[in-house]
Amino acid sequence: MDIQKWDTSYEWKIVLLLTLGFGLVGLDRWIIAPLLPSIMKDLSLNYQDVGLIFGALGITWGVFAIFVGRLSDKIGHRKILIISLVVFSFASGFSGAAMGLTSLILIRALMGVSEGAFCPTSFAATAVAAKPSRRGTLQGLQQSGFALFGLGLGPIIATQLMLVLPSWREVFWVVAIPGFILAIFLFFVLREPEQTQGGQLLITEKKAEQQEKVNWWTILKTRNVFLSMVGLFCTMSCVFVISAMVPLYLENYLNLNVQQMGFIVSAIGFGGFLGQFLIPSISDWIGRRLSAVLSFLGATIFIVLFANASVSVFNLFGLLFVLSFFSLGLIALLSGPIAAESAPAGLVASSIGLVVGAGEIFGGGIAPVLSGIVAEHYGIQNIFYLSLVGTVLGMIVSLFIKETAPRKVAAMQATSASIEQFKTES
């Protein structure tokens, strides 16, 4: 297939829409974090309850990412992406109607179901729309919307809306509105994989490697897919523990005010936005494995620095910015190009779904629950140990990743061919 005549018009249109879509996933998921002090007061919640709220969403997200990713390989992307976008927008709005812990958990769990469906399917849609040489860059760009909207702009939007709206309840409905509008745009623009050059190319490449029937065990036996699952769990145990608990840590332990807290917490989003865009982009050039190892190392260093930092707003902002750059960049790298390029024939969304699902269940689901227990019984300042264990383990795991970056693989093959030719001539 001639990849020189790539459909760049569709490529950039759909990447833009899916970037906005994943940005709304982040916004609807994390807008609750800066509102938690008010919600906890009105609904009489404690730290352990907060962990359960985040954990319920993470677990349902993970379970449905696994199974809906496989479903989208069978029935296509359009139905899943458009329907899930509408459902999680409704769930976001109804979060403002919660009257207690149980109802809030149920609503957020429903949000996890729909966002879990959207996540791997949108990654796969970007993978098949992107030209192979810039797949890492575009998948990183798409995933960066999550951090920018959800963790960067989210705290600012929440605190500003609280100034003009009666309470935190109305904030949820305001941020839900853009999802319904975006669903209309996707309806008219989004194509199914077989209608794109990328979808045909990925299937052709993978069929050349593997013709037999593929099942879940085949996916799990793929080394990079398994390592990406473990690696994503490790980095998510950092990202989601910090994203859920740092606002409360700053207010309740460091005694900062709401405005200072909001400014510092926005560093998670802005740093993560750059990381999710730049780390996969850099990996197109230096390789996926080296990028993963260096990013886990960077995250480990900055967790320690942040946990022991003095009470300085700008210092805390800077440390959290760099920490988020590495940790959220890893999410984009592991669940994006590494999972997509390692997938068996015709199972890109399935592989991404399995990676994202495992990461969400353990890193986005169980880790926040554990952090809530730690915060409630041992002090919120001790939550950083959970994140530290995750990044150290992730650094070790990433050493075993098989290189998949097209440029890097081509360079390695050229070098190998040159060596063989030299040996033959000698």
- Residue 177: give its domain's CATH number: 1.20.1250.20
Domain-embedded: residue 295: yes
In a domain, 87, yes or no: yes
Residue 6 included in any domain: no
Q: What total of structural domains would you count in the chain?
A: 1
Residue 267 lies inside a defined structural domain of this protein: yes
In this structure, is residue 414 part of a structural domain? no
State which residues form the domain around 81.
19-409
**How far is CA 79 from its chain centroid?**
21
**Distance, first Cα to last Cα, the chain:** 37
Structure-token pair, residue 26: 């982040």
What per-residue confidence (pLDDT) applies to 211? 42
Q: Is 191 exposed, middle or buried (0-12, 13-18, 19+ CB in 10 A)?
A: middle
C-alpha dist (Å) from residue 313 to 133, 310, 322: 40, 9, 15
pLDDT tens digits along 33-65: 888 888 999 999 998 999 899 889 988 988 888
CA distance 129 to 23: 18
Task: Convert 277-286 to b/e letters by CB count within 10 Å (16 or more is b).
Answer: bbbbbbbbee
Read off the pTM.
0.74
- The per-residue pLDDT for 303 is 95
Collapsed DSSP state (helix, strand, coil) of residue 345: coil
Residue 10 lies in a domain: no
* Tokens of residue 210, six digits: 């593997």
Residue 422 lies in a domain: no
Within the chain, which residues score under 50 in pLDDT? 1-2, 205-206, 208-214
Q: Is residue 291 part of a domain?
A: yes
pLDDT in tens, 307-328: 999 899 999 999 999 999 999 9
Q: Whole-angstrom Cα distance, residue 127 to residue 18?
A: 11
